[in-house]
Amino acid sequence: MKKILIILLMLIMPVLIFAFDPSWLNNIVFFNGTSNDIEYIFLSPGDSEYWGPEILNSERVLESRSDLGFYIFYPDECNDFDILAIDSNGDSLTIFDYTICDGVEETIAFSKRDMSEEEPYFEYVTLDIYNDIETEIYYIFVSPADSNMYGVDLLDEVTTILPGDYLSLLIPIGEGDVDYDVMAVDEYNDTYSFSYTISLDYGTEQEVLIEMGDMD
């Protein structure tokens, strides 16, 4: 009987260990204090050599005098992130190794005096991530595979993806292919994860599916 109980516990434990808990997430709010719309924001893990996806997605801007909040998922009590914002005039603000710690909601305010006239140049791949499962997706994380953390939830604090719908991302490209880790969390806190390689061999518009077979 004891052996049976131990086997049952071994089967149950991985589910308990890897179940997603929203309380693990922290918050970051971006406030646009400039007179221009912010067209691009990157919030990338500081341990990666890549910027990762643009977090406003392909069809949204952060309007002047408005704010937008996101969830962040990182492994330690404190981790560093790199932040880049580009406005409609091409002015930019770059912050390296910005530390975010548990229990403290961060606010990043973009002001005109902090913006530089030097515009970073990126070419992008548009990546559409489709919800091909039967439940609503609450969180999506897409992080360069060379990082130890997933970073920002690309759905912000209120957006979700219904079954059959999709999220459209802009991912900057450079020379060579880049591997990304993708994790989605549905309304029941089940997680779905896989890796995807961004390559110009696939064109500048690409798509992937979140499927039942990706469930962890």
pLDDT one-digit tens code per residue, 15-39: 444 579 999 999 999 999 999 999 9
pLDDT per residue as tens digits for the range 62-95: 999 999 999 999 999 999 999 999 999 999 999 9
Residue 154, CB-side half-sphere exposure with 13 Å CA sphere: 31
Determine the Cα–Cα distance for residues 161 and 7; give it in Å rounded to an integer.
37
Instruction: Enumerate the CATH 2.60.40.2890 domain ranges in the chain, comma separated.
Output: 24-114, 123-214
Angstrom distance (rounded) from CA 125 to CA 136: 25
Query: CATH number of the domain at 123-214, please?
Result: 2.60.40.2890
Q: Could you tell me the CA-to-CA distances from 70 to 44, 152, 175 in Å, in that order?
A: 13, 7, 29
Q: How far apart are CA 18 and CA 200, in angstroms?
A: 34
pTM of the predicted structure, to 2 decimals: 0.85
CATH classification code of 24-114: 2.60.40.2890
Average of per-residue pLDDT across 195-208: 91
Cα–Cα distance, 174 to 185 (Å, whole number): 29
User: Rounded CA gap, 7 and 5, in Å?
Assistant: 5
Q: Return the bridge partners of 106, or none.
A: 28
Over residues 125-162, the pLDDT tens digits come to 999 999 999 999 999 999 999 999 998 999 988 899 99
Residue burial 95-127, b: 16+ Cβ < 10 Å; e: rest:
eeeeebeeeeebebebeeeebeeeeeebebbeb
